[in-house]
Amino acid sequence: MKGEDKTKGQPIHELVELRQRVKDLETCLDMRKRAEEALQVSEMQLRETKDYLDDVIKSSADAIVVVDMEGRVRSWNKAAEDYMGYTASEVIGRSNKKFFADPEEADRIMELVLRAGELKNYRTVVLRKDQKPVHISMSAALLKDKNGVPIGTVRVSRDITKEVELEEKIKEERDNLNLIFENMTDGVYSVSNEYEVEFMNKVLIDEFGIQVGGICYEVFHKREEPCPRCKNPEVMNGKTVRWEWHSRRKNKTYDLIETPLKNVDGTLSKLTIFRDITERKRAEIQIKASLREKEILLRELHHRVKNNLQIISTLLYLQSGYSKDKEAFEMFKDSQNRIKSMALIHDKLYQFKDLGKIDIAEYIRELVTDLFHSYGVEPDGVKLKIDVHEVLLGVNTAISCGLIINELVSNSLKHAFPDGKEGTIRIELFRSVNENTFTLIVCDNGVSFPEDLDFRNTETLGLQLVIMLVKKLKGTIELDRSRGTEF
């Protein structure tokens, strides 16, 4: 009975075990199904990612190329086709060496990427399909498999031919500019906005030593901060400045021209041109001292000439007192007035700050006032009107004008107002419209100049002197008798 019970229990045990195995199998199948579904999702995501990356690579403005470890091209996007001229089908599977102007460049790039894991902004030259060289800037990264083993490189590059040509042109211009600077006799240097010395030509290097890279106020002035007179702020605002600087260390004076200099990157620097004017400044000091000495001597000369003329005038006055002939007395008096007119010029030159020019307005007023006093004219009898603009005349011109006025006013005082007749003498002097000539008018409203007398051909010394002086001044003289006498 016991044996039979044992035999009956064995099938039950096997059945339970079988059910467990079925259950485990169902679990495995379920897990496998889930894994397959997850794999399908991953594959779909991978395909989407790959499609996305393919789209990015195709639409990229930069050339994107994949090169395997043997140097064969494995991927070639449209941007690479555009600037290289090769289609993807023409290059994939072929060695990338043929695309470089220097075939050895392919190995150098691979070596650099293997060594550092990446390459950034590497400049090189490749050849288009038509063998035209193209300058490119390349960045590259190492590609690895899932086990970390390098399988190739991905390279991103762009055409910088125009940039390189522009840089070469700028460099050529800079080289030419530097050549000019190096051959200048003036010192030239440039300073950044941060006061860093960027350039010095040979003249300045010989004067101050090589200071490129230093801070200008430190190397030139031994200061710890910008100089109070520094023009950097003004120049950086676009202003050109010219000023003088005295170097105590060199005991020299420099004429500086500082102007903005625009750099390739758009920043501004200050370009300064130094000119050593030490000798010129010394010469100016000597010249000024010499001029002061000459000015003192010239003033003293005018003073002495005036005194001598006054002595002559006094002698004539004293001599006239011994003359019993009225005509001779008048001749002495006329000569005395002429000498006074010239002495007055020298007196004004002695007093005036400009030794070469005369304020003719003030001179005429004093001259005519002296004449009125000399002829004993009463202010209520003959009135004087003077309209003279403030004009500066040279010494010779002023003396000639003074003598002309002296003669014409003297004639008016002697002949225009007989027997105490009242009237007016008017004097005008003004610059003509063309600014190169002057007009002098001397007139009176007394007895008119005789109609039958030609003033250009008289026997009197006074009018002959007037005609001679007008010719000397390269002028003209006219007479108007309509309202008295007007010259």
* Candidate ranges 88-97, 171-180, 219-228, 335-344; pick with highest mean pLDDT: 88-97
pLDDT at 52: 47
The angle that helices 395-411 and 360-374 make with each other, rounded to 10 degrees, is 30
pLDDT at 76: 86
pLDDT at 51: 47
Chain mean pLDDT for the chain: 76
Which residue range(s) make up the domain with 483? 357-487
Indicate whether 201 and 94 sit together in one domain: no
**Cα Rg of the chain, angstroms:** 53
Indicate whether 141 and 181 sit together in one domain: no
User: What mean pLDDT do residues 51-61 have?
Assistant: 56
Q: Would you say residue 266 lies in a domain?
A: yes
Indicate whether 372 and 344 sit together in one domain: no
Residue 355 has pLDDT above 50, yes or no: no
**186-197: burial string, b at 16+ Cβ within 10 Å, e else:** bbbbbbbeebeb
Q: How confident is the model at residue 463 (pLDDT cuts 50, 70, 90)?
A: confident
Q: Would you say residue 481 lies in a domain?
A: yes
Q: How confident is the model at residue 50 (pLDDT cuts 50, 70, 90)?
A: very low
Indicate whether 311 and 365 sit together in one domain: no
Residue 313 has pLDDT above 60, yes or no: no
Q: Would you say residue 435 lies in a domain?
A: yes
Indicate whether 312 and 289 sit together in one domain: yes
Indicate whether 303 and 339 sit together in one domain: yes
User: What mean pLDDT do residues 47-73 have?
Assistant: 69
Q: Give the residue from 105, 135, 159 where a domain finishes.
A: 159
* Candidate ranges 88-102, 381-395, 469-483; pick with highest mean pLDDT: 88-102
Q: How confident is the model at residue 1 (pLDDT cuts 50, 70, 90)?
A: very low
Q: Would you say residue 45 lies in a domain?
A: no
Q: Would you say residue 142 lies in a domain?
A: yes
Q: Give the residue from 334, 355, 376 where a domain finishes.
A: 355
Indicate whether 331 and 455 sit together in one domain: no
Under 8 Å between Cβ of 316 and 308? no
**Tens digits of per-residue pLDDT, 203-254?**
888 878 888 888 888 888 788 888 888 888 888 888 898 888 887 777 888 8
Domain tally, the chain: 4
Residue 393 or residue 329, greater confidence: 393
User: What mean pLDDT do residues 54-77 have?
Assistant: 78
Give the range among 182-196, 252-266, 322-336 with minimum mean pLDDT: 322-336
CATH code of residue 425: 3.30.565.10
CATH code of residue 197: 3.30.450.20
What residues are paired with 137 via a beta bridge? 123, 158
Residue positions counted in the chain:
487
Residue 312 has pLDDT above 70, yes or no: no
User: What mean pLDDT do residues 3-25 have?
Assistant: 63
Indicate whether 294 and 306 sit together in one domain: yes
User: What mean pLDDT do residues 429-457 have?
Assistant: 78
pLDDT at 58: 60
Residue 350 or residue 317, greater confidence: 317
Q: How confident is the model at residue 65 (pLDDT cuts 50, 70, 90)?
A: confident
Q: Would you say residue 424 lies in a domain?
A: yes
Indicate whether 335 and 372 sit together in one domain: no
Q: Would you say residue 17 lies in a domain?
A: no
Indicate whether 246 and 169 sit together in one domain: yes
Indicate whether 390 and 469 sit together in one domain: yes
User: What mean pLDDT do residues 115-121 have?
Assistant: 89
In this prediction, what percent of the chain has a pLDDT beyond 70?
72
Residue 337 or residue 414, greater confidence: 414
Give the range among 273-287, 347-361, 468-482 with minimum mean pLDDT: 347-361
Indicate whether 479 and 425 sit together in one domain: yes
Q: Would you say residue 21 lies in a domain?
A: no
**Tens digits of per-residue pLDDT, 326-335?**
665 566 566 6
Residue 45 has pLDDT above 60, yes or no: no
pTM of the model: 0.41
Residue 350 has pLDDT above 50, yes or no: no
Residue 129 or residue 395, greater confidence: 129
Distances in whole angstroms, Cα of residue 213 to Cα of each of 104, 195, 197, 371: 37, 10, 5, 78
Residue 320 or residue 457, greater confidence: 457
Q: Give the residue from 322, 355, 388 where a domain finishes.
A: 355
